[in-house]
Amino acid sequence: MAITQTAISYYGLNYVEHAEQDFREMLNHGCTTVILAITEFDMDFWFPNIPKIVDKAHELGLRVLLDTWGVGKYFGGEQVSLFLQNNTENRQVGAISGEKLPHACFNTQSFRDYFQRLCLKLARETKTDGFFWDEPHYAFPKSYASITGSASDEWACRCPVCMKKFRDYYGYEMPRIMNDDVKQFRWREALFILEDTSRKIKEINPKSEITCCVHATLNSYYVTEYRGYDNWDMVAASPYFDVFSTTIIAWELPEGFFEHITRRTVDMARKYGKQSERWLMGYYKQPADFAQIDKVVDLYDKLGVDRLGTWTYRGGYGTVLAAPDALKLWDRIGENYKRALKKTRS
């Protein structure tokens, strides 16, 4: 096993000729794949250019995956959500506070239809090689997970739709305090929207490849984030996903953490016959010593990772999440991409 794919995310899908220049730069940085971050605004406003941008990437020799970036604020991403703007209902609700939250409830038919329509339009009208499910999650809990227990017992979603589904299945009212039935319910429902959509994408194009990228959490006896996709066995076992991916780890975390997450990611992917993917943080923050990038890439390679991904093009240059030395960071990642691929080919 060796690293065969090096991906970079890219946003700002406006002009084909501008994207072309950027795609050439990606190729010069050893990228084999571009992950296009598609926003709800792109779908609503810039759609005519999206299929052309996909074609241009292909023409230059890049594979293309489409990332439903921040859609409904259900996926990770900084973009704003048209769904939330245009719908005052179908939002996740805090179980204890009872407050409507700025996240779409992906267990409602309204959001499921909206999301699926968006994906199937992309599947039909572009020649994408696949889709990238980017950090899907329930609103809560997250940072509350800690070794010493929860700072809060709040969780989502306890909206009317989730409550009815829960009662229909378990025969009692959905509790406000999370129990095992709620955990199971959340995992099962969270998987439905992605599996159903992935299945329909593959009906349109059987070769379409699906990556499910979940948070890189410990999921130990003491620490679990309960974001809905933290049961890695359930995610990796899904027959509709081809690649099991876990997200970025901040550079300042200890090497042991990188190793632990990566080992478990690779084991989980192999257990279910999937490809494994690990990420590099190529925006916002950079390692104190750039040699750490080389070491982490070597570690991923040694542990048998199949694919590398980096967020994002040019180290986030020009955005509020740019790394301090964004372009240098991008260059170092590019050098590592070329090095990793060369190793594989030699």
159 binds Zn ion (CB under 5 A): yes
Minimum distance of Zn ion from residue 107's CB (angstroms): 5
**Encoded amino acid at 127, one letter:** K
Minimum distance of Zn ion from residue 171's CB (angstroms): 19
Closer residue to Zn ion in complex, CB, 105/236: 105
Closer residue to Zn ion in complex, CB, 186/278: 186
Closer residue to Zn ion in complex, CB, 107/262: 107
Minimum distance of Zn ion from residue 174's CB (angstroms): 10
Minimum distance of Zn ion from residue 97's CB (angstroms): 14
> Which residue from 43, 95, 162, 201 is in contact with Zn ion, where contact means CB under 5 A?
162
CB 115 within 8 Å of CB 106:
yes
157 binds Zn ion (CB under 5 A): yes
> Which residue from 31, 105, 210, 296 is in contact with Zn ion, where contact means CB under 5 A?
105
Provide the H-helix boundaries in 205-224: none
Minimum distance of Zn ion from residue 162's CB (angstroms): 3
Q: Tell me how far CA of residue 247 lies from CA of 5, 36, 269, 324, in angstroms.
A: 16, 16, 14, 21
Q: Which stretch binds Zn ion (CB under 5 A): 44-52, 77-85, 152-160, 229-237?
A: 152-160
Beta strands 130-134 and 33-37, pairing class: unpaired
DSSP string covering 4-55, please?
-EEEEEE-----HHHHHHHHHHHHHTT-SEEEEE--HHHHHHSGGGHHHHHH
193 binds Zn ion (CB under 5 A): no
Question: Per-residue contact track with Zn ion, 215 to 254, x per CB under 5 A?
Answer: ----------------------------------------
Which residues are CB-contacts of 133 (< 8 A; sequence separation ≥ 6)? 68, 75, 194, 210, 211, 212, 213, 241
Q: Which stretch binds Zn ion (CB under 5 A): 30-38, 153-161, 202-210, 312-320?
A: 153-161
Q: Is 51 left (phi over 0), alpha (psi -120 to 50) or beta?
A: alpha
Minimum distance of Zn ion from residue 158's CB (angstroms): 7
Closer residue to Zn ion in complex, CB, 157/268: 157
Minimum distance of Zn ion from residue 71's CB (angstroms): 16
Contact positions vs Zn ion (CB under 5 A): 105, 107, 157, 159, 162
